[in-house]
Amino acid sequence: MSDFWSLIEDSAGHADRAGWIECRLAARTPAEIVEFDVAFTAARRRAETWTMWAAAYRITSGLCSGDGFWYFLPWLVGLGRDSFDRLTADPDALAEVPQVRRLATMRVDQWTDVDWPEWEALNYVSRQAYDTATGESEGIIDALRALHHDYPEDPAPTGDRWAFDDETEMSRRLPRLSALFPSMSLGHAANGPLLNI
């Protein structure tokens, strides 16, 4: 969809960004809603790497399960196209993102729901908009399959898998984030990385 990023970026500043996007999508044709979903999945897949998961894991003090990473990726998309392109090329550049720098000033157990780097609701806007536009419950899934696309519901990271609680490896691969978040302050790393997907 040619205006996928426009919708994402134009939603910034709205109290309910996902709802704002959903309303605009629901007014479009089913084919356009499917195009939005395909574009969103393509963007998500670009960022779906083990290194990006490690970055999210470090930022959240180890509280980043498969679901957590699944919700982190839309948040990354929500930063806008320029930031998204820069961060997918270099996940360690998350250390320069103002929202992430702010999180580094607080313990993770002090974060509010608004603070968490996640945007779960974006995962569902195309499905809900399609339901509204067509009256078909979850009809987008069949529409996507007809185009040989799946409706993904779990992360499938690419690249080299590595132990996120290995401090030497974390410092080597993500030096800026490791410096910004120097310790797993709540001790969650002791349980090992939450990699069950």
- Span 67-94, pLDDT tens digits: 999 999 999 999 999 999 999 999 999 9
Say if CB 54 and CB 164 are below 8 A apart: yes
Query: What's the chain's average pLDDT?
Result: 91
Is residue 101 domain-resident? Answer: yes
Domain count, the chain: 1
Write the single-letter amino acid at 185: S
Spatial distance between the Cα atoms of 140 and 10, rounded to a whole number of angstroms:
24
Residue owning tokens 């479009």? 28
* pLDDT confidence of residue 189: 37
Is residue 197 domain-resident? Answer: no
Instruction: Find how far residue 71's CA is from the centre of its chain.
Output: 5
Sequence-ordered list of residues with C-beta below 8 angstroms from that of 129, at least 6 positions apart, any chain? 21, 22, 23, 25, 26, 28, 33, 36
Is residue 196 domain-resident? Answer: no
- Span 99-126, pLDDT tens digits: 999 999 999 999 999 999 999 999 999 9
Q: What percent of the chain has pLDDT over 70?
A: 92
The secondary structure of residue 181, as a DSSP letter, is: S
Is residue 67 domain-resident? Answer: yes
Is residue 9 domain-resident? Answer: yes
Residue owning tokens 């704002």? 20
The secondary structure of residue 187, as a DSSP letter, is: S
The closest alpha carbon to 173, from 183, 163, 184, belongs to: 163
Is residue 62 domain-resident? Answer: yes
* pLDDT confidence of residue 153: 83
Residue 194 scores a pLDDT above 50: no
State both tokens at 8: 């994402």
Q: Which domain holds residue 156?
A: 4-182
Is residue 56 domain-resident? Answer: yes
Say if CB 73 and CB 155 are below 8 A apart: yes
Spatial distance between the Cα atoms of 181 and 102, rounded to a whole number of angstroms:
11
φ and ψ at 142, to 5 degrees?
Answer: -65, -35
Sequence-ordered list of residues with C-beta below 8 angstroms from that of 170, at least 6 positions apart, any chain? 54, 58, 164, 177, 178
Is residue 176 domain-resident? Answer: yes
Q: What percent of the chain has pLDDT over 90?
A: 87
**Where in the chain does DSSP place strands (E)?**
none
